[in-house]
Amino acid sequence: MKTRRLAPLAMLAAGSLALAACGGGNGDGDGGAGGEGEALDSLTIMAPYFAAVPPESDDPVGTALSELAGVPIDVRWVPNSDYGERTNVVLAGDDIPDVMVISGKDQSFVSTAEAGGFWDLTDHLASGEYPNLVAENPEVQEAASVNGRVYGVYRARDVIRTCVILRADWLENLGLDLPETTDDLREIARAFTEDDPDGNGKNDTYGLIAPQWPGGIGTASPYDAIEVWHGAGNVWRDEGGELVPAFTTDEWRQALEYERDLVQSGYINPDFATMDPATWNEPFLNGEGGIIIDVQSRAAQLAELFREQDPENYDQYVALAGQLEGPNGTYALPTAGYAGFLAIPRSNVQTEEQLHQVLAILDKLNSTEAQILMNNGIEGDNFTVEDGFAVYDESKQDFTDQVTGAWAQLGMNVAGYEGYSPKPQTEYDEQLAQLRLDLQAEDLENAVFNPAASLVSETYMSTGTQLDNIIGDARIQYIAGQIDEAGVDAAIQRWRDTGGDQVTAEINELYAQLD
């Protein structure tokens, strides 16, 4: 007999919601709102944490933030892995916090916002009354909005992260330069595969390392990067005032051809469709593959891993290049620029006065002082400042981890990051950090933003994952040689038939209203 462990998932979901509704009643009073129209005497915030344990209620950072804010701040920490689920459970209950970190514009957030569950902050933020909440990058605030309406203060992230990481020692051995164009990259991938870059006389290396990518298209995968470099646009492309999906462009097909050539020539790991992304670093470290297209922070991570292996020469292994010039011009792939936002549910914050108060507190939480507290900790306790950098006390590492793994998640930094960066340990670390900043500045000029980032199509909300998977799967099937061009056409047709055409129509309608 087979014991089926999984009851139908939906029933489970329904069950947990019902249980949560049962448990909703025993809340310890509504942390925030005293009553109708009165000023808030405390502020409850729901936020995710990555740290091993969340901060206690008497945490020094929390105490200091409460002092800054003028009211006690009570944070309800939820493990990041459960956060999306908890958000829905909390919204369904009657113990809703004053401020919630919302991790993305998913269906339940958008429908709640449109049903009036969250304050529309568009005009309040534009008023300039809260200087620390005025976005440094207005296009990011726009991207984080729902069809132009801003429902939250976004949590800012680096706009440029994608880069090409290469084995510096292999380039050196073969006398090759850093790649500047996509053709250079192909040549390097070929040389890394065929010209014995590690000089051991064996044919045991390949070029590009690509893992199985969770999610379909527009998820900053190596394939997305290559397609943007070819000029296919970022998810959507504006063609004469009309938005078309990037994958319907000729440039996308050209990029697909390029990717297929890499695969068919054997310049990529043979298990690119199934490799566990958690093991992405290993082939690079072990000298099996020599190129990774991913976020810049992976370069620092790899350098650190090489330091453990080879402390003497660890600075000889990792090379970094930014966007590559494609056959049709120079384009860079940016991130969305934000990771969720802090939204204000209307359940507890009921009047404009209360909203004003909450926004004023959020404004204070974005001050330099608060940013240092949330990102670095307590100066003189777990860190000291040297030359404008934070130097952490190793004996207080647990506390520091808790700061960066929990409090930092509350940080919005929309008006610019003002906390301290950790002091680079060596000259190489400093160079690498500087190189990353230089590449960011350079790539930002050529960044291709998704013109539909702020647009929320109803059809996409309900079927987007499948639609994205159709194209994402077809892409992998094509470059693996499983289907031909007609197969890609068929997949695009399937995309159109299962809701894609409707999404395009809805997006264009919203796009027309935007201007």
Q: Is 484 in the site for other proteins (CB under 8 A)?
A: no
**With CB under 8 A as the contact rule, which of the stretches 14-22, 64-72, 182-190, 373-381 interacts with other proteins?**
14-22
Structure tokens at 45: 């915030």
Candidate residues 285, 480, 492, 502; the one interacting with other proteins per rule CB under 8 A: 480
Minimal distance, residue 272 CB to other proteins, in Å: 10
| 169/227 with CB nearer other proteins | 227
| 32/231 with CB nearer other proteins | 32
Q: Are 182 and 325 in contact (CB under 8 A)?
A: yes
* DSSP per-residue letters across 278-301: GGTHHHHHHTSEEEEEEETHHHHH
DSSP state, residue 118: B
Strands 206-209 and 289-295: parallel
| 267/383 with CB nearer other proteins | 267
Candidate residues 60, 72, 424, 464; the one interacting with other proteins per rule CB under 8 A: 464
Q: Is 117 in the site for other proteins (CB under 8 A)?
A: yes
| 18/52 with CB nearer other proteins | 18
Q: Is 13 in the site for other proteins (CB under 8 A)?
A: yes
Minimal distance, residue 481 CB to other proteins, in Å: 10
Candidate residues 42, 330, 463, 502; the one interacting with other proteins per rule CB under 8 A: 463
| 71/92 with CB nearer other proteins | 92
Q: Is 351 in the site for other proteins (CB under 8 A)?
A: no
Q: Are 337 and 140 in contact (CB under 8 A)?
A: yes
Partner residues linked to 165 by β-bridges: 292, 320
Q: Is 29 in the site for other proteins (CB under 8 A)?
A: no
Q: Are 178 and 171 in contact (CB under 8 A)?
A: yes
Q: Is 473 in the site for other proteins (CB under 8 A)?
A: yes
Q: Is 348 in the site for other proteins (CB under 8 A)?
A: no
Candidate residues 63, 461, 492, 502; the one interacting with other proteins per rule CB under 8 A: 461
For other proteins (CB under 8 A), the number of binding residues is 51
Euclidean distance between CA atoms 408 and 49, whole angstroms:
9
Q: Is 1 in the site for other proteins (CB under 8 A)?
A: yes
Minimal distance, residue 342 CB to other proteins, in Å: 17
Of 45, 12, 47, residue with least CA distance to 31: 45
Minimal distance, residue 375 CB to other proteins, in Å: 30
Euclidean distance between CA atoms 482 and 139, whole angstroms:
40
Burial of 512 (0-12, 13-18, 19+ CB in 10 A): exposed
Candidate residues 482, 490, 501, 513; the one interacting with other proteins per rule CB under 8 A: 482
Structure tokens at 514: 């935007």
Provide the residue count of the chain: 515
Q: Is 202 in the site for other proteins (CB under 8 A)?
A: no
* DSSP per-residue letters across 424-471: PSSHHHHHHHHHHHHHHHHHHTTB---TTTT---HHHHHHHHHHHHHH
Euclidean distance between CA atoms 171 and 193, whole angstroms:
12
Q: Is 53 in the site for other proteins (CB under 8 A)?
A: no
For 456-482, letters b (16+ CB in 10 Å) and e give bbebbbebbeebbebbbbbbbbbbeee
CA distances from 300 to 31, 230, 319, 432 (A): 41, 27, 10, 7
Candidate residues 108, 122, 181, 301; the one interacting with other proteins per rule CB under 8 A: 108
Q: Is 14 in the site for other proteins (CB under 8 A)?
A: yes
Q: Is 285 in the site for other proteins (CB under 8 A)?
A: no
Of 137, 197, 127, 29, residue with least CA distance to 453: 137
Q: Is 89 in the site for other proteins (CB under 8 A)?
A: yes
Tell me, residue by residue from 208 to 227, as one string, x for binding to other proteins by CB under 8 A and - for no binding: ----x---------------
Minimal distance, residue 443 CB to other proteins, in Å: 28
Q: Is 6 in the site for other proteins (CB under 8 A)?
A: yes
Residue where the block lists tokens 């890394």: 192
Q: Is 328 in the site for other proteins (CB under 8 A)?
A: no
Candidate residues 63, 80, 103, 107; the one interacting with other proteins per rule CB under 8 A: 107
Euclidean distance between CA atoms 467 and 308, whole angstroms:
43
Q: Is 486 in the site for other proteins (CB under 8 A)?
A: no
Tell me, residue by residue from 230 to 269, as one string, x for binding to other proteins by CB under 8 A and - for no binding: ----------------------------------------
Contacts of 270 (CB under 8 A, 6+ apart): none
Q: Is 79 in the site for other proteins (CB under 8 A)?
A: no
| 92/444 with CB nearer other proteins | 92
Candidate residues 264, 297, 466, 513; the one interacting with other proteins per rule CB under 8 A: 466
**With CB under 8 A as the contact rule, which of the stretches 111-119, 240-248, 315-323, 441-449 interacts with other proteins?**
111-119
Element (H, E) at 309: helix 297-309
Q: Are 151 and 115 in contact (CB under 8 A)?
A: no
Q: Is 502 in the site for other proteins (CB under 8 A)?
A: no
| 234/459 with CB nearer other proteins | 459
Of 437, 406, 409, residue with least CA distance to 421: 437
DSSP state, residue 164: E
Using CB under 8 A as the criterion, which residues of the chain lie in contact with other proteins when the complex forms?
1-6, 8-11, 13-15, 17-19, 84, 88-89, 91-92, 106-108, 111-112, 115, 117, 212, 270-271, 273-274, 276, 461-466, 469, 472-473, 475-477, 480, 482, 494, 497-498
